[in-house]
Amino acid sequence: NSNDCSPTHFLWGLQRIEELERMAHEGALPAVALDQKEKQKPEIVLVPEPARVLEGETARFRCRVTGYPMPKVNWYLNGQLIRKSKRFRLRYDGIYYLDIVDYVTSDDSASIMVKAVNIAGETSSHAFLLVQDDEGEYVFYAGEKKTSGKLIVAG
C-alpha cells in the first residue's frame, strides 16, 4: 500500500513546485532548474540574404533563430546537408553564420537553405549564392534550372 497518490502528497508536490517557481523568479535558482517554459516553434527572425560574390571570394550567410527549446539549425547547399570543413565554416555567437570559402567559382552558384527544428516544429528559409565571373555574368540556380545573364542590382 503506497501513499504516493494521497491528496496530502499531491498537495505537497504542488506547493513544492510553487516554491521552486518563486525561488526561480527571485533569482535563487538558475532558470535551467525549472523547465516550465512554454514550447515555441522555431522562427527565423534574421533571414539569410543572397550572397553576391566574385569568383574566389568567400560567401557569407547569416541568420538568427528563436524558439524553445533551442532549435537545432542546419544549413544545406543544393539540398545537401553542410558539415563543418575547410570549405564550409559554421559559427554561432547568437547569430548562425555559414562561410563558403576557398573554392567559390561560378560552378558553385547554388541554392542555400537554413532549417531550424525543435520539438514544437520546424521552419526554413532560402537564399541564393550568386557568383560573378570575369565577364560580369552571374550564374545561379533556381531549383534545378540553371540561369545566367547580367544581373542588375538596384542601389
pLDDT band at 146 (very low <50, low <70, confident <90, very high): very low
Nearest to 103 by CA among 85, 122, 121, 117: 85
- Of 142 and 79, which is predicted with more confidence? 79
> Cα separation of 132 and 21, whole Å?
56
Angle at 41 between CA 66 and CA 46, to 5 degrees: 35
* Cβ–Cβ < 8 Å for 64, 95: yes
> Cα separation of 52 and 58, whole Å?
10
Q: What is the DSSP code (8-state) at residue 123?
A: E
Residue 25 clears pLDDT 50, i.e. is over it:
yes
Please state which of the four CATH numbers 3.10.129.10, 1.10.10.60, 3.40.640.10, 2.60.40.10 is assigned to the domain occupying 40-149: 2.60.40.10
Q: What is the mean pLDDT of the chain?
A: 76
Domains of the chain: which residue ranges?
Answer: 1-36, 40-149
Give the number of C-alpha atoms closer than 13 A to the C-alpha of residue 1, restricted to the C-beta side. 1
* Cβ–Cβ < 8 Å for 52, 122: no
Question: Tens digit of pLDDT for each residue in 32-90?
Answer: 544 567 899 999 999 999 888 887 788 999 999 999 999 999 999 989 999 999 889 99
Q: Which phi-psi region, left, alpha or beta, contains residue 45 (left: φ > 0; alpha: ψ -120 to 50)?
A: alpha
* The pLDDT value given to residue 62: 96
